[in-house]
Amino acid sequence: MNSADLSELIDRWAPEVELALRENTSMCMAVFSDEKVLLFANRAMTNLFKGEPCQSFINPVFDKLLSLPNDKPLIFEGMMTIGDYISVNTSILAQVFRKANQLLVLGGVDSKQLLDQNASMHALNREIGDLQRQLIREKHALEQTLARLNEANTELKELDATKNKFFSIIAHDLKNPFNALLGLTDLMMNEFNNFNQDEVRNMAAAMHETSLQTYTLLENLLEWSRLQTGKLNPVIEHIMPDLIVNEVIDQTSAAAKLKNINLNGKLAGTDAVLADRSMLNTVLRNLVTNAIKFTANNGTITITTILKPAFLEFAVTDTGIGIEPEHLSNLFGLDCGLSKRGTANEKGTGLGLILCREFVELQHGNIWVESELGKGSSFIFTLPLAFPS
């Protein structure tokens, strides 16, 4: 097609061509006078202008275009940046023609430039995706590290509480019984001839009671210490609960008789449990000893078992003084803070209940307490059955 044919086509389609050029958003077109007055700009070019049109030419500036030689109509061809100096601007591949004291600016996006930009965008998106995945991995690793730090912090707090409890027992509860023994033995050594037989018998009974309490405390303390150092592990076997209950009743009956307490057992069958024999004995013995301590003379303590589908429920129930509601939820914790003397002024450390909780949990059971102030308490724990129903 020669230029004459093209001119004829343009003349024929002039309205349509004019509308297309005016509304086009991909091909930029503008006409300026030599006096820098905008005579025409289509929509694409108008979108690029920021403020005064001739001032929107960043590179080259409009004055530079005016100074170029115009011996030929085409005075400029290349990349042109349009916008302002404070924004992210657009560059187009442009041609500038000068004729009859007017400048015609035509331009658009070069296809190679568009492909390069798309390739850069895809590469940038991949880098952003990789960075996001790396950040997610680092966040997950950080969360795991924080979780481990929180666990370590919790363990440190527990160890600190354990240490404080340990030294509290050593400093007070273990020292006081020995002070009592030293005082009694000193009195007997220096004043023996001044005491009658009943007074000697009473002092001997006091010494025996103090020694028994101290021995129980030492026994619990040693077992608890072995637990904390990881040297005490349960040996799980099939245990007949009635044998352990009767054993504990025999071990604690003397202390119960001193207060005329009725100590008995009511067992539901002879189903075996999975337990450590020594730990089960220690748990029941501590609970019964504790019940004796807080039950008045002529009271009752009952050891019962209740058969459940998967476990056996043990309960040590007394008619004692009961426990205040505010202490029930934390009774088995190191920081319980409950310290009361028994009905016969007996002393305790709370270590027995802590030991009970840890022993029960080591045997895959649970322990809790139900109590009403002034009406007694029930310390209940469960152990898995050897042959669940």
Query: What is the C-alpha separation between 217 and 349, in angstroms, rounded?
Result: 8
Architecture of domain 163-232: Orthogonal Bundle (1.10)
List pLDDT tens digits, range 73-117: 999 999 999 988 888 778 889 999 999 899 999 998 765 665 666
Decide: residue 2, CB within 10 A, 0-12 exposed, 13-18 middle, 19+ buried: exposed
Mean of pLDDT values over 274-296: 90
Q: Which helix (H) or strand (E) holds 100?
A: none
What pLDDT is stored for residue 195 in this prediction? Answer: 79
Q: How far is CA 367 from CA 357, 370, 386, in A?
A: 6, 10, 19
For residue 59, give both structure tokens: 């590179």
Among 235, 234, 267, which Cα is nearest to 249's? 267
Query: What is the C-alpha separation between 389 and 386, in angstroms, rounded?
Result: 10
What pLDDT is stored for residue 336 in this prediction? Answer: 54
Q: How confident is the model at residue 167 (pLDDT cuts 50, 70, 90)?
A: low
In sign, the C-alpha dihedral spanning 301, 303, 308, 310 is positive
Q: How confident is the model at residue 162 (pLDDT cuts 50, 70, 90)?
A: low
Q: How confident is the model at residue 342 (pLDDT cuts 50, 70, 90)?
A: very low
Q: Please, what CATH class does the domain formed by 234-389 belong to?
A: alpha beta
Task: Tell me the fold of 3-113.
Answer: Beta-Lactamase (3.30.450)
How would you label 215-230 residue by residue, b for 16+ Cβ within 10 Å and e otherwise?
ebbeebbebbeebeee
Whether residue 40 contacts residue 24, with contact meaning beta carbons closer than 8 Å, is answered with no
Residue 337 amino acid letter? G
Decide: residue 338, CB within 10 A, 0-12 exposed, 13-18 middle, 19+ buried: middle
What pLDDT is stored for residue 2 in this prediction? Answer: 59
Judged against a pLDDT cut of 50, whether residue 141 lies above it is answered with yes
Judged against a pLDDT cut of 80, whether residue 334 lies above it is answered with no
List pLDDT tens digits, range 20-29: 778 877 889 9
Judged against a pLDDT cut of 50, whether residue 130 lies above it is answered with yes
What pLDDT is stored for residue 344 in this prediction? Answer: 46
Selected residue with higher pLDDT from 180 and 31: 31
Query: Cβ atoms within 10 A of the Cβ of 119, count?
Result: 10
Q: What percent of the chain has pLDDT over 70?
A: 80
* Farthest-apart Cα atoms in the chain, separation: 149
For residue 82, give both structure tokens: 């349009």
What pLDDT is stored for residue 230 in this prediction? Answer: 64
Helices 277-293 and 197-228 pack at an angle, to 10 degrees, of 130
Query: How do the domains of the chain map onto residue ranges?
Result: 3-113, 163-232, 234-389
**Strands of 217-283, DSSP E:** 237-239, 262-266, 273-275
3-state secondary structure at position 122: helix
What pLDDT is stored for residue 154 in this prediction? Answer: 83
Most confident of 87-101, 188-202, 216-230, 370-384: 370-384
Least confident of 115-124, 136-145, 225-234: 225-234
Judged against a pLDDT cut of 60, whether residue 335 lies above it is answered with no
Query: What is the C-alpha separation between 202 and 207, in angstroms, rounded?
Result: 9
For residue 48, give both structure tokens: 């690029």
Judged against a pLDDT cut of 80, whether residue 332 lies above it is answered with no
Query: What is the C-alpha separation between 154 and 177, in angstroms, rounded?
Result: 34
Judged against a pLDDT cut of 50, whether residue 289 lies above it is answered with yes
Q: How far is CA 383 from CA 39, 271, 290, 387, in A?
A: 96, 11, 20, 12
What pLDDT is stored for residue 270 in this prediction? Answer: 76
What pLDDT is stored for residue 85 in this prediction? Answer: 86
List pLDDT tens digits, range 205-248: 777 777 776 776 677 667 666 666 666 678 899 999 999 999 88
Whether residue 360 contacts residue 381, with contact meaning beta carbons closer than 8 Å, is answered with yes
Least confident of 10-14, 139-143, 287-291, 360-364: 10-14
Mean of pLDDT values over 273-299: 90
Judged against a pLDDT cut of 80, whether residue 139 lies above it is answered with yes
What pLDDT is stored for residue 182 in this prediction? Answer: 79
Mean of pLDDT values over 134-153: 89
Judged against a pLDDT cut of 60, whether residue 288 lies above it is answered with yes
Selected residue with higher pLDDT from 134 and 119: 134
Judged against a pLDDT cut of 50, whether residue 278 lies above it is answered with yes
What pLDDT is stored for residue 327 in this prediction? Answer: 76
Query: What is the C-alpha separation between 52 and 352, in angstroms, rounded?
Result: 89
What pLDDT is stored for residue 214 in this prediction? Answer: 74
pTM, whole model, 2 decimals? 0.50
In sign, the C-alpha dihedral spanning 135, 137, 138, 139 is positive
Selected residue with higher pLDDT from 96 and 203: 96
Please give the full DSSP string across 57-83, using - where no structure is assigned: EEES-HHHHHHS--SSSEEEEEEEEES
Mean of pLDDT values over 48-74: 93
Enter the DSSP assignment of 29. E
Query: Cβ atoms within 10 A of the Cβ of 157, count?
Result: 12
Among 213, 158, 153, 170, which Cα is nearest to 333's? 158
